[in-house]
A = this chain, B = another copy of it.
Amino acid sequence: MSDPVAALEAALTRIEQTERSLQAWAFIDADGAREQACRVHAAAPLRGLILGVKDIFDVAGQPTQCGIPQATSTPAAQDAAAVAALRAAGAVVLGKTHTTAYAWLDPAPTANPYDATRTPGGSSAGSAAAVAAGHCQIALGSQTAGSTLRPASFCGVVGFKPTFGRIATGGMHPLSHSLDHVGIFARRVHDAIAAARALDATIVVPPEAPALRVLVSDLEGDEALEPSSREALARAVEGLRAAGCRVESQRLPDAVTRGGELLQTVAAYESVQRNGAHWHALGDALPPRLAELLAEGESTPRTRYEDALLLREQLRPNITALFAQADLLLAPCAPGEAPERSTTGDARYVRPWTFFGLPAIALPCGRGAHGLPVGVQLIAPAGADGALLAAALRLEAATG
């Protein structure tokens, strides 16, 4: 366990060296962090971990800008629930990381740490990039569509989204209340586990998992999937088999893809119900993808939204049934390596699991043809966060 003061100074040095090109941070409070670092208890479980916070969460004394420079930005009075829990467990809160505007699709100013012409993904762009670049060891993000696992894959870090509802979202600016999840970024699964347990101590990780049955998504004929992600999946399958898991390939039911599509209706309707008036008030500061979401949400009839919620209930048994055959699913995180910065990348492989609220974790699994990292994701049944993290430890050890 490293010394918090030393860890912070090392982080600040790396930030000084690379932040100008990376643009991971919206706000840094180095002095405040130094004060905290001196006071971390010797036995604190997150001692020595520097924390970046996606700029949709409140941090006491820091502005919350949600990815849009605000004319007035009063500092938040108190920490969001997740920030308070991590701080209480000994993490040093360094500052706020860049997010796409309101955690939707307009690219953040952040670059991919492996190639400045590529996106770090979104919406938790700064959190993923900051962890990848060693600016901090852990970071908070969120996921309403693909906002944690996709940037984790593009930046070569671990990205964990617990079961829907498991981590309190208080003090996190809501996008879509039935889809918003708190997300965690880390370099290593071990740190993601420590952070997850600080957020919810009832997440426990079985030390010795039995022989796991893993179902890998058969994407034969899927034209969106690039060779780099196919190779990452193959490496993961090989690693899991080497670790004693039984891996079988199967085409997933249509409910998976359908869930990913329906997410769009729910996100558009709920986000505009909640944020519509405010987004209108942004006027010229409203970025184009958010403007599209606003238009889509406003033209979505309530009945279509309710139909999507209904279909979620009707499709759910098809998803639940998958976990009778397998303890975990293995799937790609993204079509391939990070694309150019005009986009935050394609979230199609992540959206279904967000829609159904299942816990999922992205793990780096090698590099693609352009030398950029490529991740894979493991998915578990609702509530099985601990078993998922245990499997992630095994996959991490096997693919190293």
Residues of A within 8 A of B (CB): 163-166, 177-178, 202, 204-206, 306, 309-310, 312-314, 316-317, 320-321, 323-325, 327, 356-357, 381-384, 386-387, 390
B320 contacts A324, CB within 8 Å? yes
A384 contacts B323, CB within 8 Å? no
A381 and B306 contact, Cβ closer than 8 Å, known pairs A202-B178, A314-B206, A386-B313: no
B327 contacts A324, CB within 8 Å? no
A310 contacts B384, CB within 8 Å? no
B313 contacts A204, CB within 8 Å? yes
Closest Cβ neighbor of A177 among chain B residues? B202
| Cα of A306 to Cα of B165 in the assembled complex, Å | 21
A316 contacts B383, CB within 8 Å? yes
Closest Cβ neighbor of A317 among chain B residues? B327
* Residue from B177, B206, B383 within 8 A of A356 (CB atoms): B383
A386 contacts B310, CB within 8 Å? yes
A328 to chain B, nearest CB (A): 10
A381 contacts B206, CB within 8 Å? no
| Stoichiometry, copies per complex | 2
The residues of B that contact A320 with a CB separation of less than 8 Å are 320, 323-324, 381, 384
A206 contacts B384, CB within 8 Å? no
The 5 closest A-B pairs by CB, nearest first: A324-B324, A165-B165, A313-B386, A382-B382, A178-B202
| Cα of A324 to Cα of B382 in the assembled complex, Å | 14
The residues of B that contact A163 with a CB separation of less than 8 Å are 165, 382
Closest Cβ neighbor of A313 among chain B residues? B386
A150 to chain B, nearest CB (A): 23
Closest Cβ neighbor of A207 among chain B residues? B310
The residues of B that contact A390 with a CB separation of less than 8 Å are 313
The residues of B that contact A310 with a CB separation of less than 8 Å are 204, 206, 386
Q: Can you sample 30 A-B contacts with CB below 8 Å? A: A163-B382, A164-B383, A165-B165, A165-B166, A178-B202, A202-B309, A204-B306, A204-B309, A204-B310, A204-B312, A204-B313, A205-B313, A206-B310, A310-B386, A313-B384, A313-B386, A313-B387, A314-B387, A316-B381, A316-B384, A316-B387, A317-B323, A317-B327, A317-B381, A320-B320, A320-B323, A320-B381, A324-B324, A357-B383, A382-B382
The residues of B that contact A381 with a CB separation of less than 8 Å are 316-317, 320, 382
